[in-house]
Structure 1
Amino acid sequence: MTDEELQKLTEEISIQFFNKKFRHKARFNKRLRTTGGRYLLRTHDIEMNPHLFAAFGIEELIGVIKHELVHYHLHIEGKGYKHGDYDFKYLLNKVGGSRYCQSVPEKRRTESYKYHYICTDCTQSFKRKRKIDTKRYVCGKCRGKLKPISSK
């Protein structure tokens, strides 16, 4: 889906469920990682996570668009647009928007851990990217001594 298609879909959803026009920009933002979308207060634009659409499809995307449009329309009208506000909860429930989106699967980084430590008392394993001072740090589980096992 392109930004133009997303813009058109957002405008259609706004008319269909809110009976109001969406007069700003809707676009994908590849940098979004932990959220399905966001409404920008200063510009009134909506940004959507393309990874969410790729992973879960159009239905999940529509639910998140409705959520962001609730923020948009309430903010424009000067009503309570925040998640905890009554106006927000009421309108979100009325239009059937999603309160939370599904977790977007993250791409695993190929970067592996360089250092591996083990507790001498409880055998808890610790993997670290950086070397730690075993004289200064202890096991977070039992406060036992740490012993380096391997380093790459």
Structure 2
Amino acid sequence: MRRSMRKQETPDLGILASRTLFRVQKELFTRLAEEGHPRLRPRHGAVLAYLDEEGSRATDLAAQSGQHKQVIGTLVDELVELGYVERQPDPADRRAKLIVPTRKGLDQMAKADAIMAAIEAAHAHAVGEEAYAEFKRVFALVARRPSAEAQ
């Protein structure tokens, strides 16, 4: 009985957030494949979505994406093999390495930015510019809010 009642309820925040993420990822990576980047997968977004054009440290990518440094290291290895990034010495600290996009990586980043802008424009058109702007504002507030345990 409880299960059937639950299906009628509005999905909780976790379900809505995951549905949103998976739909956006599916559209983004399908379109990236059509535009010349067929070997990228959504997991690569933990690096590519946060990567600066001038390069980023793996520790910064881990902190920004919420992934463990070891996961980022594995993803960077995959992206090096695919030709999207390379490791270079950090000019600010020669002991550290920067993850720097290659020409192929920069192409992907530009295309991903354009695709995401188109996805957002389509959503704004569908629900109205003001409603979409308010949705993003509130969603960003929720995303930045400390967890209940941290309070």
Give the TM-score, by structure 1 length.
Answer: 0.26
Structure with more of its chain in helix, by fraction: 2
- Return the structure number with greater relative CO, CA threshold 8 A, min gap 6: 2
Structure with more of its chain in strand, by fraction: 1
Give the TM-score, by structure 2 length.
Answer: 0.26
